[in-house]
Every structure is written in structure tokens, then in C-alpha cells.
Amino acid sequence: MSLLEMPWVQTRRVSLRWQTGESGSRFDPGSSKFSTKLELPQPARVAETATALALRRRWLILGVVLVGSFMAILDVFIVTQGLPSIKTSLGAGVADLELVVSAYSLVYAVFLITGGRLGDILDRKRIFLSGMTVFTVASALAGYAPSAAVLIGARALQGLGAALMYPQVLSIIQVTFKGSERSLALGLFAATSGIGAITGNIVGGLLIQLNLAGLSWRPIFLVNVPVGIIGVLAGFLVLHPSRTERAPKLDLPGVGLISLFLVSLVLPLAEGQQTGWPNWMIMLLILSFPVLALFVIYERKRTKNGEDPLVDMDLFKHRSFAVGIPLTLLYYVTASGLFFTLVLFLQSGLGFSPIISGLSFAQLNIGFITASLLGPRLIRSFGNRVLSLAYILQTAGLGWIILTLNSYGASLTLYELSPPLIVFGAGAGFALSPLLGVILSGVPSQEAGEASGVVSTSFQIGNTVGISLFGHLYYRFLNGQQSPTSYIDAFKTTVPFFVILSVAGFLLVFLLSQHRARQIIHRLEA
């Protein structure tokens, strides 16, 4: 008697089927036959599935960090539309309104480099999520602020959250993506940053005009709360812990010196125009440059002694980095200065409503987004000629604006203004995403945080300098006049200065040789 014919086995007989794939294998205890055709999952199929999951996770990571970058940039600009309502509801004075704007920008600029370095030391995921949490809580405090003083404090806290969050975005992109994926990720980052800058005034004006639940200006801050909560929860799930292999020590004296430099530089630039440039503010601005020199000397000394610097000055030995940072400063000085004066020109000079003015910025967005996504692809074929094309388009758009102003004057409409704005936006888009790739191409991954902090700080310094410099020029050309014609004439006189900066950017690109461009492309594809 065979084993399967024994009665105690018969009473426990079950039908068991095991099948793998189409042909599979089958075992039936009721049968003496056993099929040995067994198909295990193919290694190639397993590898393909793992690759697809890793790819999906990378783009989920990008989506989470881009939400953070969008919020940080948006809140630089969104508050301006709410200032009249804030003044009325909180009884805020002129000085209070200035601090509502500048408290965010000042704290944001001062702690960007430190925030980037903390990501290298402690963990980019942890610092990013901490920054987003602080930013979300501060947004809720700002939205429910009962007084101007509380609102100013909440704005400063928002700036701290943004400074912790924003530098990690470039660092995470740098260590998560490679090759053409990194180029595309940088293009999306550039597009998101540009959209945040351009649409800040649009979103702010729309939320205030809707007057949701009778809350007036408060939704411009409260809108960040649900977005921030979702971003933090998603970040916990999809972000990877990431830091340098050998965590460096935080350079506290370096933090103090760079913070002192940035306060001395950014505070006068942000507040000097409104306060009439008192002597102490001029002296503070002048002293910022010796403080910067002292910071550089101190950081070089730390590097020479084998200690961890806050910013490794050897980064500037990479030509891509040394040329890229001035190009970034020029880019943001031009963009922020143009946006600031364009709003004044459209609303006070041409009498556009905030909504029509917002549609004008939408034309910039059309060109910007399109070019931001095309730029990384073109740079693989044409190298830094794409950057040259960017500045040519910017200059052409600005020249077209001048011709349009001369042709139509006060009768200028959105229809005539749209084409030159689209061209300028395309130039801005072709510049920013390839430029970020160029700057970071020579930076080792272990220095991604500090490099990203320097790049992000140059963004904010460029924004502050652009608004301050061109705001001063524009009001100087107005010369106290308030008629629509005077606003048009002042804008017409200001635009040639933007042309000069675009030409300067075009010339700086030539310091990046084509040989160097090919090296950059090779590294991006590696």
C-alpha cells in the first residue's frame, strides 16, 4: 500500500493547487502525478519592477520638495496685495507694513546658507520636514494674527521655516537624480520657482478679492496650512534620510559672520528706500563688505587647518560655480526689478485692474514654463549656447517692450504687451534651469547642502537688490509725479537698465568655455 492510499491520509486529503505563470506547476495530493514544470519569477522581470518603483518614488520625492519650494517663493510676493487690508484691519502703520514684508525676506536670506549646511550635517529629510512644519505653523499664526506685532513675528518665523526648507530642495534633487532625469528635475524646480515668483501677486490679489468667509487678507497665509500638512505627511512617507557620509561640525563663528554680513546687506536694501536712507543704515551697508571679507578669510583659515567650514571656498575653484553665482545674481536682480516696476507701471500708469495685471504676468509664465522644460533638453545638444540664447531672448523682449511703449503710449493694451512679455519669459526660462545645472555640475554630493545654500542665498540677495535698486530708480524717475503719463515715462526710462544687465549676463556666459560645457553635459549624463 502506498503512502497516499493509507486511510489517515485519505481523510485529510485536500485539493491543493499551486500555479505560477501561465504553464505553472501543480500538485494534487489526490493524484500520484506531480508536475515538475515550475516557473519562478524572472530576475529581469523583478529588476524591471524594482526600477519602475524606484523611478516612481524619485518623482514622488520631487513632487513633495517642489511643494515646499513653491510655498517658500510664493510667500515672498503674495503678501504685497494684502497690505492695504492689513493696514485697515490691524491699524498697522507704514513702518509695520514694511516689516510685514521685510521680516520674512530678511530672516529667510540670513539663514539660507546655515539651513543648507544643517541638511548636510543632520539629515536633509529631517531639516526639510522641520522647516515645512515651522513654515506651516507660522502661516497659521500669521493668518490668525490679532495685531501687527504678532503678524511681523509670524512672518519672521515663516522666513526661518523657509530657510530650513528651501536649500534642501536642490540638495535632494542633486543626490536623488542623475543624468537626464536630473536635468528634467532641475527644469521643473526652475519652473516651480518662477511660477511662485510670478504668480504671488496673482494669487494674493485673487484671494483678497474673493474675501473668503469674510476673512479679508488672512487666506493669503491660511492657504499654506492644508498644503503644508499634506506636504509634511507625504514627506515622512516618501523622502529618504540623506546626509554626508562624514557629518561635519557646524561652524558657529562662520554662521555668526555670514549672518552679520547678510543683515548688514539685506536690511538697508529692504528698508533704505522707505526710511529715507538714514546715516546709520548707509554705514551698515558699507560695513557689510568688510564683514564679508572677514568671513572669507576665516573660512579659508578653517579649511587650511583641517576644520569644517560653513562654506568651503574651494567651491569657487569650479568655474561653473564661480561664474554661475554672479549669473544667478544678475538673473534675479533683473527679474525681480522688472516684476516690481511692471506692477507699478501696469496699475498706476495704464490703469490695469489687479486681475488684468495678473493676466499680464500670466503671459510671462507662458514663455517661462515652456522654456524651463525645454532648456535641459537643449543644453545636452547645444551646451551653454542655450544660456546665450536665453539672454538674447531677454534682451529682445525688453527691446520689444520699449518699441511697444513708443508706439502705443497710454493706449497700450494687454494684447500689444503680451508678445514681448512672452519672449522675455522664454528667455528667463531658458536661463534658469540650465544655469542651475551648470552651477551644481562640479559640486560633489557631500557639499550639495552648502552649495545649495549659497545658490539659494544668491536668489534672495538678487531679489532684494533688484527690488531696492530698481524701486529707487523708478521713483527717482517719477520725481514725485503721480500722473499716468509720468508712470509710463518712468518705466520707459527704467527698461534700458534691464537691457544692460541682460547684455552683461550674455557676456558672462562666454567665461564658460564650450569645452567646459561639454564636461558639464558629460557629468550630467553620467
Encode pLDDT of 122-155 as tens digits. Answer: 888 999 999 999 999 999 999 999 998 999 999 9
396 CB burial (10 A radius; 0-12, 13-18, 19+): middle
Per-residue 3-state assignment (H helix, E strand, C coil) for 33-45: CECCCCCCCCHHH
Residue-level pLDDT at 74: 83
Residue-level pLDDT at 393: 93
Residues of the chain scoring pLDDT < 50: 1-27, 30-32, 34-36, 38, 40, 514-518, 520-522, 524-526
Its sign, for the CA torsion 287, 292, 295, 300, is: negative
Residue-level pLDDT at 90: 87
Its sign, for the CA torsion 463, 466, 467, 468, is: positive
Residue 418: count of CB within 10 angstroms of its CB? 18
Can you count the helices (H) and strands (E) in the chain?
18, 0
The CATH class of 315-526 is: mainly alpha
Residue-level pLDDT at 446: 64
The pTM is what?
0.73
Residue-level pLDDT at 234: 93
Residues 115/129, Cβ–Cβ less than 8 Å: no
Residue-level pLDDT at 34: 47
Residues 479/281, Cβ–Cβ less than 8 Å: no
Residue-level pLDDT at 351: 82
Residue-level pLDDT at 127: 94
Encode pLDDT of 455-481 as tens digits. Answer: 877 877 887 788 778 888 888 888 777
Residues 518, 522: Cα–Cα separation, whole Å: 6
Cell of 386: 542655450
Residues 111/134, Cβ–Cβ less than 8 Å: no
Residue-level pLDDT at 27: 46
Residue-level pLDDT at 136: 96
**Residues forming CATH 1.20.1250.20 domain(s) in the chain:** 61-250, 315-526
The backbone torsions φ and ψ at residue 33, rounded to the nearest 5 degrees and listed phi first, read -100, 140
Architecture of the domain delimited by 61-250: Up-down Bundle (1.20)
Residues 26, 34: Cα–Cα separation, whole Å: 7
Residues 384/514, Cβ–Cβ less than 8 Å: yes
